[in-house]
Chain A
């Protein structure tokens, strides 16, 4: 039986050590006051500590397991980066501090901006977007603002490859664009003819991930960029896969006009069970005036100001795309990223992409030798690659999902499955640069062992996982009953 914290609650038990009850001066009218206290658990502090510690132990995590999770870059994030960000001198800063008393943090922003500009080749970087998807929204809003300023309001179409991350079309729609999907050719690259046919005077831009969500480097990227620019559109770079090229190839050199980076993937922020992240954007010179607020800059040689720290309305920054959050974004994530860049340096960052690609190529080769089908066997893999389990599905009736669940029993977090959507029964595998060869080998051995199990006893896979706190959960029941909280029904 799984007890929630509410099951451990008992009236009158938490005589809080935090704030002993006493009489207060309360001048708030009764009509504004709550009549009954909120239903929060009443537990002793030890009960809370023990409850959440034991919950944590039910999780897989990088600290305990290997996560070859494609498109997520689940690598080791140095603890030192976390420690640097948890310094009380950073945590205690109010977001509306006067610039004069915030120079330490503003120096962090300026230095990180400078490094990200160098790494991407972009003319300017904004650190305010709080996640990759918000970076996409910001980047596309900048494209919108730029086109409007050019009196090209009629350009209302964003092109995305059919294998793109779901956030790409969703962000485009949030910005008021229409979405057109561009198919891929057999090699996995974008269909250049289809792209040419889709480009028109309505094209606002093309969003690309490169290497793509199929784990392939778009070989004709420079020509593609040329086509889009010739048609009057702009090129957007989804930085989800930056780990594959960091320190070696710069998005600006490929012809991209706007990019976002996922600091929680490439730059050392732990995923935290789903956040926080940060999605800084970079732009070329002509898009600089449209960057979101606030924005740090040198006022003179000695001091830095955070322009737009206080919102002063549209009139103060008429060209800016506006504000994305209450304050200046996820500062804590920015500090971690700076710590990471400093720890690795230019050389270390280049090693990241080299070893991420090396590890992926090695795992791909071993799986392929063992008889697993690479989705694009004639291509170089990048930092990640796709295999299809269609053959295993056909021969043994087991699905990619069954494989994934059985991997849990072997102690591995499964790879991303059923994405990209166009490869049936697929795994998207990203080993990252931080796993030792012994771990990579153990993963391959587990895949082989599971395939052998599938041949002998498919039910072992279909009923997996067997060794976790729960077996497969009834998702239909979850939606139908919609029990979303204690006391919700």
Chain B
């Protein structure tokens, strides 16, 4: 029997010991009319070779496009060692590290991951990850509300977001917090693709969310936003691309006081795009907020013989102990993806990471310049960006992108009309370190041809 090691002898031995005539007797507490002889329309089992062949056919079914899209998922190179080590059975098939003595490998790795995420984001403490960037943002909002002294007296739990927050993140966050009467309001998008500089003076929100770089790749005036928040006792939540932090100012240093909570998606750090998941979401924060931080957290401590070891800590916040009063219903972290990111960061180091970030940025600038050399094509927003840019075409972007995909095998970017009807002619483009000069040339040539038609 596939994957079941019991021979008929073993089955007889077990049944004999239990003292029942057959396996069906073991199900005799289940009402018989609920038990089906067989479930219709399920397939016959396949052997491994057939299954692998057929799923490989599905994997290869679609023509592969050269990826110039970002928008929250990025086509980066992953060093060979990352998944070779991450895929070791001892990481891949271990359980959540509740039994600390039998899980020192995973626990120490998580502790190192926490250290690295704090270093990148300029924060004091980190959790061991949540599901993805969008859930990390949702959990950060709930955390900010719980931590806000003003929330206890507020009539309306209102959170303000800077313009240019990724629409999928906003939607997922809204889903997750709507059960708790929290209202999310967005600042108006300015002409230059960042928040319009009109922050409310009275009735400040409980928290402000700033995505940096924002969904258009634009850099927000973070110091100004951070100081505005700090002066009004508004909790500041930074949503960031971790790779960008090899170059950009870490949220812990934004403005005079820094962000209170930092979150984002770890996909750029050694995790494949894989249709959007699994990835992992990270949350780091000030140490004073640690008891409001959801998800698993690992601490270094000593064993009974004085040796260093690692344990899950602050578990009294979690659902398996606090039940209805837990900080979150979250139960798993994304252990395996965190393993990959920890390996990625160790192998890259600060220099390697900075180099990748700088190359991504440079490739995107080169791409934008090449595309804008074509008549009728221009940059949409002025001002600094990181690693993504918005290009305006003379006609609806989706039509052009479809033509580029079909005729040239190029995924030209994200047609922003899906999210912002007024940006129907705009494409959000990204060229990671993986895109070569010839791929960028090919994109520019193909675009020129499509537009010439």
The residues of A that contact B85 with a CB separation of less than 8 Å are 49, 52-53, 56
Whether A94 and B411, one on each chain, are in contact in the complex, defined by CB atoms closer than 8 angstroms, is yes
A167:B411 contact, CB within 8 angstroms: no
B275–A380 CB distance below 8 A: no
Q: Are B45 and A344 in contact (CB under 8 A)?
A: yes
Instruction: Please tell me if A391 contacts chain B, counting CB pairs below 8 Å.
Output: no
A222 in contact with B31 given A28-B219, A49-B81, A61-B92 (CB within 8 Å): yes
Chain B hits for A90, CB < 8 A? 59, 274-275
By the criterion CB–CB under 8 Å, are B92 and A115 in contact? Answer: no
Interface with A: B145-153, B154-162, B197-205, B355-363, which one?
Answer: B355-363
B135:A16 contact, CB within 8 angstroms? no
The answer to whether the Cβ of A155 comes within 8 Å of any Cβ in the partner chain is no
> Looking at the complex, which of A191-199, A266-274, A280-288, A450-458 is the stretch in contact with chain B?
A266-274
Q: Does B438 contact A (CB under 8 A)?
A: no
Mark contacts of A448-489 with chain B using CB atoms, 8 A cut-off: 1 yes-contact digit, 0 otherwise.
Answer: 000000000000000101001111111101110111111110
Which chain B residues border A72 with CB–CB below 8 Å? 95
Distance of B414 from chain A, by nearest CB (Å): 6
Contact B2 A485 (CB under 8 A): no
CB distance from A202 to the nearest CB of B (A): 16
Please name all residues of chain A whose beta carbon is closer than 8 Å to the beta carbon of B54 when the two chains form the complex.
342
For B30, the chain A residues whose CB sits under 8 A away are 217, 219, 245, 249
Q: Per-residue CB proximity of A172-208 to B under 8 Å, as 1/0?
A: 1111110100000000000000000000000000000
Give, as a whole number of angstroms, the nearest-CB distance from B212 to chain A.
9
Interface 9-residue window, one of A228-236, A328-336, A392-400: A328-336
* Chain B CB within 8 A of A150 CB: no
Residue interface bits A69-84, CB-to-B below 8 A is 1, else 0: 1001011111010111
CB pair B4 A2 closer than 8 Å: no
Nearest-Cβ distance from residue A218 to partner chain B, whole angstroms:
9
> Does A384 lie at the interface of the complex (its beta carbon under 8 Å from any beta carbon of B)?
no
Across-interface contacts of A292 in B (CB, < 8 A):
175
A473 with B45: CB separation less than 8 A? no
Cα–Cα distance between A368 and B94 once the two chains are bound (Å): 29
Contact with A along B339-361 (1 / 0, CB 8 A): 10011011111111111101101
Q: Contact at B274–A97, with CB atoms within 8 Å? A: no
User: Are A48 and B42 CB-contacts (below 8 A) given A60-B94, A92-B75, A348-B1?
Assistant: no
A277 touches B (CB below 8 Å) = yes
Q: Say yes or no: is A327 at the interface (Cβ < 8 Å to chain B).
A: yes
Q: Does B108 contact A (CB under 8 A)?
A: yes
Give 1 or 0 for each of A401-431: 1 = CB within 8 Å of chain B CB: 0001100100001100001000000000000
User: Residue among A41, A90, A216, A274 with the most chain B CB within 10 A?
Assistant: A274
List chain B residues, Cβ under 8 A from A330. 131, 277-278
Chain A 243-281 per-residue mask, 1 if CB under 8 angstroms from chain B, else 0: 001011110011000000000100000111111110000
Quick one: given A87-B55, A331-B274, A479-B314, are A133 and B330 in contact (CB under 8 Å)? Answer: yes
Given contacts A174-B180, A342-B46, contact A38 B347 (CB under 8 A): no
Q: How far is the CA of A52 from the CA of B88 in the complex (A)?
A: 10
Question: Do B305 and A471 have beta carbons less than 8 Å apart?
Answer: yes
Using Cβ atoms and an 8 Å threshold, which residues of chain B touch A19?
348, 352, 355-356, 359, 433
Given contacts A28-B386, A101-B63, A130-B131, contact A249 B36 (CB under 8 A): yes
Interface residue A355 (Cβ < 8 Å from any Cβ of B): yes
User: Does B164 lie at the interface of the complex (its beta carbon under 8 Å from any beta carbon of A)?
Assistant: no
Q: Is the Cβ of B351 less than 8 Å from the Cβ of A133?
A: no
Q: Is the CB of A91 within 8 A of B272?
A: yes
A32 lies within 8 A of B219 (CB)? yes
Give the CA-CA distance A103 to B51 in the complex, in Å: 18
- Which of B47, B64, B91 is in CB contact (< 8 Å) with A59? B91
B310: which A residues are within 8 A, CB to CB? 473
Which residues of chain B are within 8 angstroms of A18 by Cβ–Cβ distance? 77, 79, 347-348, 352, 355-356
Contact yes or no, B69 A94, CB < 8 A: yes
Distance (Å) between the CB of B1 and the closest chain A CB? 6
Is A123 interfacial (CB-CB < 8 Å)? Answer: no
Indicate if the CB atoms of B250 and A31 lie closer than 8 Å: no
Question: What is the interface of chain A mostly: helix, strand, loop, or mixed?
Answer: loop
Given contacts A57-B105, A475-B311, contact A28 B247 (CB under 8 A): yes
Q: Check if B448 is an interface residue, CB within 8 A of chain A.
A: no
How many pairs, one residue from A and one from B, have CB atoms within 8 Å of each other in the complex? 695
Question: Would you call A149 an interface residue if the criterion is a C-beta within 8 Å of the partner chain's C-beta atoms?
Answer: no
- The answer to whether B331 and A167 have CB atoms under 8 Å apart is yes
Known A59-B104, A275-B334, A323-B175: A38·B275 in contact at CB below 8 Å: no
Asked if A470 and B104 make an inter-chain contact with CB atoms under 8 angstroms apart, the answer reads: yes
| Minimum distance in angstroms from A363 CB to a CB of chain B | 9
Contact across chains for A357 and B27 when beta carbons are under 8 A apart: yes
Contacting pair A34 B101 (CB below 8 A) = no
Interface residues of A in 85-115 (CB under 8 A from B): 86-98, 100-105, 107-108, 115
Tell whether A312 is near chain B: CB-to-CB under 8 Å: yes
B379 at the interface (CB under 8 A from A): no
Tell me which of A60, A134, A419, A435 contacts B102 (CB under 8 A).
Answer: A60
Chain B 93-109 near chain A by CB (<8 Å), digits 1 or 0: 11111011111111011
Count B-side interface residues using an 8 Å CB cutoff: 203
User: Which one, B178, B346, B405, contacts A41 given CB within 8 A?
Assistant: B346
- Whether B93 and A355, one on each chain, are in contact in the complex, defined by CB atoms closer than 8 angstroms, is no
Chain A contacts for B120, CB-based, 8 A: 38, 40
Please tell me which one of the listed residues B39, B324, B362 contacts residue A172 in the complex, with CB atoms under 8 A apart.
Answer: B324
Q: B44: shortest Cβ distance to chain A, in Å?
A: 5
Q: Nearest CB to that of A359 among chain B residues?
A: B14
Instruction: Check B328 against A5 for contact (C-beta < 8 Å).
Output: no
Complex Cα–Cα for A176 and B329 (A): 13
A310 (CB) vs chain B CBs: closest residue: B418
* Cα distance A404–B109 in the bound complex, in angstroms: 24
In the complex, what residues of A have CB within 8 A of residue B44's CB?
345-347
Given contacts A330-B277, A483-B300, contact A325 B62 (CB under 8 A): no
Question: Would you give the shortest CB distance from A265 to chain B, in whole angstroms?
Answer: 11
The yes or no answer to B23 lying at the interface (CB within 8 A) is yes
- With CB as the reference atom, state the residue of chain B lying closest to A137: B329
What's the minimum C-beta distance from A277 to chain B, rounded to whole angstroms? 5
The residue on B at minimum CB distance from A21 is B355
Chain A residues whose C-beta falls within 8 Å of the C-beta of B246 in the assembled complex: 34, 37-38
Docked-complex contact A362 and B14, CB < 8 angstroms = yes
User: Once the chains bind, are A76 and B111 in contact (CB under 8 Å)?
Assistant: no
| In the bound complex, CA of A405 to CA of B101 (Å) | 8
Residues on A with beta carbons closer than 8 Å to the beta carbon of B276:
95, 325-329, 331
Which residues of the other chain, B, contact A89 by a CB distance below 8 angstroms? 56, 58-61, 64
Among B225-233, B291-299, B439-447, the stretch in contact with A: B291-299
In the complex, whether B437 has a CB less than 8 A from a CB of chain A is no
Q: Which residues of A contact B280 (CB under 8 A)?
A: 275-276
Contact A273 to B346, CB < 8 A, known contacts A84-B55, A474-B304: no
Provide the residues of chain A in CB contact with B59, threshold 8 Å: 87-90, 104
- B335:A91 contact, CB within 8 angstroms: no
A83 to chain B, nearest CB (A): 6
Q: Which residues of B contact A338 (CB under 8 A)?
A: 55
* A339 in contact (CB, < 8 A): yes
Known interface pairs A141-B175, A219-B29, A343-B46. Does A465 touch B180 (Cβ–Cβ under 8 Å)? Answer: no
User: Do B45 and A272 have beta carbons less than 8 Å apart?
Assistant: no
Name 13 extra pairs, CB < 8 A, besides A96-B71, A473-B309: A34-B248, A40-B350, A49-B84, A55-B108, A93-B273, A133-B330, A133-B331, A329-B277, A347-B45, A358-B23, A358-B26, A437-B13, A486-B115
11 A-B residue pairings within 8 Å (CB atoms)? A24-B359, A88-B59, A219-B29, A325-B168, A365-B18, A434-B3, A437-B13, A470-B309, A471-B101, A473-B302, A475-B301
